[in-house]
Structure 1
Amino acid sequence: MPTARAQRGAAVEAAAQTYLRTQGLSPITQNARYRGGELDLIMRDGDTTVFVEVRYRASVGFGGGAASVDLRKRRKLVLAAQLFLGAHPALAAQPCRFDVVEASGDPPQLRWLRDAFRLEDC
């Protein structure tokens, strides 16, 4: 049985995916696990593959969810994205980007940070 934290995380990811769908993105997959990292959501925005990191904070007292996507986390996400694209060569030829959806509070309020970081930031 999943922990309360895991259940909350799954609910926030589902809410983020629903929100992004209303913004015109379409889902490819979710919770793709690779050596060294996990990709929460992988979506399409036109011809762009979007790797979405979803971060929940009960309170923003220590900074929002985006602040927790530090250099170490960004490098893990980039590695996982490279492994995903290696396994899906048709998508590897298309542009990609990294977004963050931060959520805080109860019920969670979502904030979408499009193009939150780039490869050269890592």
Structure 2
Amino acid sequence: MQNTQNQGQIAEHTARQYLEQHGLTFVEQNVRYRFGEIDIVMKDRSDWVFVEVKYRSASQYGGAVNALSHAQTQRIRKAASHYIQLKRIDAICRFDVIAVNPQGIQWIRDAF
């Protein structure tokens, strides 16, 4: 578990750097509520971006991109909705996925 958790933290750090290199601004990381979690919150100019980071060490079973279940997307949406209410955000928001694997990084904008 420790190794998997460490790989996840490295993947989140890699994703954050990648997004910053592509012009997004970091806001917050690992926002946790009892009903869901947001890996990274970024801003893309005036848009708010809720980023789910997926890491897979191998590309079998569809790799990191296909590792997001419907239940997970629902939890992320619920967490983001709560975050938006708490922060009183009135702006366009989107959900992106950053898939990290040994072959590289894949950025999926408006993933769900």
Which of the five TM-score ranges fits, normalised by the shorter chain? Answer: over 0.9
Q: What is the SS of the residue equivalent to 2:110?
A: strand
Taking the aligned partners of 1:52 and 1:104, their CA distance within structure 2 comes to 16
Where does residue 120 of structure 1 map in the other structure? none
- 64-73 or 23-32: which moved more? 64-73
Residue 98 (1) aligns with residue 95 (2): yes
Unaligned runs of 5+ in 1: 118-122
Counting aligned pairs with the same residue, the percent is 34
Where does residue 110 of structure 1 map in the other structure? 105
Aligned residue identity for 2:109? R
Residue 37 (1) aligns with residue 32 (2): no
Instruction: Give 1:64 shift.
Output: 2.1
Instruction: Give 1:86 shift.
Output: 1.3
Where does residue 73 of structure 2 map in the other structure? 74
Taking the aligned partners of 1:64 and 1:102, their CA distance within structure 2 comes to 8
Taking the aligned partners of 2:35 and 2:71, their CA distance within structure 1 comes to 11
Where does residue 62 of structure 1 map in the other structure? 61
Where does residue 86 of structure 1 map in the other structure? 85
Q: What is the SS of the residue equivalent to 1:53?
A: strand
Aligned residue identity for 2:47? T
Instruction: Spell out structure 1 runs of 4+ moving beyond 3 A.
Output: none
Where does residue 21 of structure 2 map in the other structure? 22
* CA offsets 1:74-100 (integer angstroms, 9 cap, x no match): 1000000011111100x2x10000000
